[in-house]
């Protein structure tokens, strides 16, 4: 069974940076695009950034120019470099393979990112 394990979250001040990591079991990285999502309590999970198998990236307008998604297929790991963080970036961040607007695999536990003003 594929497992997705997110890490790297924390509490930072506005303007600071964090780097999230997502390690996946199995061989999903070789066959799937990957994406980062985030969710605030009471709101739907939203797609933040995605990367194809070939490395092509796309971003939500709210993070464009501040976040960078990347992947290391040899390590089955996807990263999210988050710079110039804002309080509105506060959320639980998850990774998954995007699939019809949601995630293809069972969601992991996520990693909490809290940005103070």
As a whole number, mean pLDDT of residues 85-96 equals 97
Instruction: Report the percentage of the chain scoring pLDDT > 90.
Output: 81
Q: Is the pLDDT of residue 2 over 80?
A: no
Three-class SS of the chain: CCCEEEECCEEEECCCCEEEEEEECCCHHHCCCEEEEEECCCCCCEEEEEECCCCCEEECCCCCCCEEEEEECCCCEEEEEECCCCHHHCEEEEEECEECCEECCCCCCCEEEEEEC
In the prediction, which pLDDT does 5 show?
Answer: 94
Q: Please indicate whether residue 12 or residue 26 has the higher confidence score (pLDDT).
A: 12
Query: To which residue do tokens 């995007």 refer?
Result: 98
Q: Is the pLDDT of residue 25 over 80?
A: no
Nearest to 4 by CA among 93, 83, 69: 93
């Amino acid at each position: 069974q594929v497992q997705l394990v997110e890490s790297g979250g924390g509490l930072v001040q506005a303007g600071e940076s964090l780097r999230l990591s997502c390690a996946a079991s199995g061989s999903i990285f070789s066959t799937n695009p990957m994406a980062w999502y985030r969710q605030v309590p009471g709101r739907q999970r939203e797609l933040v950034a995605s990367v194809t198998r070939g490395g092509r990236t796309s971003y939500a307008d709210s993070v464009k120019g501040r976040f960078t998604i990347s992947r290391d297929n040899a390590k089955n790991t996807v990263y999210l470099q988050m710079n110039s963080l804002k309080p509105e970036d506060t959320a639980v961040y998850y990774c998954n393979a995007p699939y019809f607007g949601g995630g293809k695999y069972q969601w992991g536990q996520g990693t909490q990112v809290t940005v103070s003003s």
